[in-house]
Structure 1
Amino acid sequence: MVAAAAEVKLLGMWASPSVRRVEWGLQMKGIEYEYVEEDLANKSAALLRHNPVHKQVPVLLHGDRAVTDSLLILEYIDETWVGRPLLPRDPYRRASARFWAKFAEENCREATKKAFFERGEERSEAIEQLREQLQRLDEELEGKKFFGGVEIGFADLAVGWMAFWLGVSEEVAGFTVVDAKKLPRFAEWMDDFLRVPVIRDNLPPREKTVEFFRYYRDQQLAAAAAAK
């Protein structure tokens, strides 16, 4: 069953990796949807009504249902519509996919955030932590093209933000963690992931993204300095 366009809406913001992750999942499933761009500086009544707790994107609207949190949205998509599965059907492999998704979301993203915003010793520690975490992902890819095996799956969509946005973060904040010699499998996975048509065709323009995140970083650092 493929949902009609009027049945599914995605509230998002063009530069958000979490939003793009949901779009990848929707398109992998062949689900028609309406995309609604949100101005996060002037949040819509729909966003505030459907995500009153966090007031953030993405929000998936399916009829009168609202689902928030990008990883939970992916699971909802997988369980609601037939088509290519995102999560493995085997219980062990499904648990493994969820583990690596959680690992990337909680550990890698937090370390990247600190490397992006912090300075001095805290920044150096975050960069080292991120290198160690990427090493674990590199080891997990041994003998596999993707975390999902021969095709991308749930774990790849969860880790996928690093294939594009980690490079953006490195450029904007002036640090380097992805070394193809030290992380050969992970570096190859990044290239392979970005070549998958549904991913390649649903990425924001790189220069515009770099410009946006540079502005965002400057604004956050200025606000932090003013608060001291």
Structure 2
Amino acid sequence: MLVSALALGFLGSLHCLGMCGPIAFMLPLDRESKAKKIAQLFIYHSGRLLAYASIGVLFGFLGKGLSLFGMQQKLSIGMGVLMILLVLVPTKIFDAHKLSRPIYTLLGKIKSKLGKELQKKTPDAFLTIGFLNGFLPCGLVYMALLGAIALGNAWQGGLYMMLFGVGTIPLMTTAAYSSSILSTPMKSKVRRLIPVFVVLIGALFIIRGMGLGIPYVSPKPMNAHMESTNIECHQP
């Protein structure tokens, strides 16, 4: 399941370039010193990973709370179904109910703070830019958060989101060097693949929640395993 976070981050990073690409391109990097430029990019990405890991821990903890009520398997199925629905249901439905208004309010505040930090060149500024960048509203981040919730563990949720962030590093680093990444036909092809991949991840979480007894993919529920063990122990 954790590998899916890396893949989602890598494929989804092309989609995220529309939001985060300009920020990466406008980073006040040192263009004269290659070593300093690499260090600045490292600090920037560290800030993003810290943000993703933090919200991953938070949502993983939420998933753990739900799991304590014996909902681990149902939670995984529910998050998988929700992932698929968010891909299939038109976004206009959400806009019609003005559910996106708080997101745009948050986006305005983050952009304002980012604008100030982009004027600086200190190490802490790069860390702050990366951290704020990690909180920018993004549909792919929301999908990854559903995965973090479904894992039902705070630390696994944090790791899932951090790996998602690691997957975005290659293209985001390229964006910092060049504003034009890949050809337009290639971009549209990859973007068409993203919804398909999200549906596959959703299906994977559904299979995981079904407890089919497939190692690492769909393990049996713990209580079912204990019951089968007890039956074997009582057999003459």
* Fold match (TM-score > 0.5): no
Write 1 or 2 for the structure with the bigger share of strand: 1
Structure scoring higher RCO (CA < 8 A, sep ≥ 6) equals 2
The structure carrying a bigger helix percent of its residues is 2
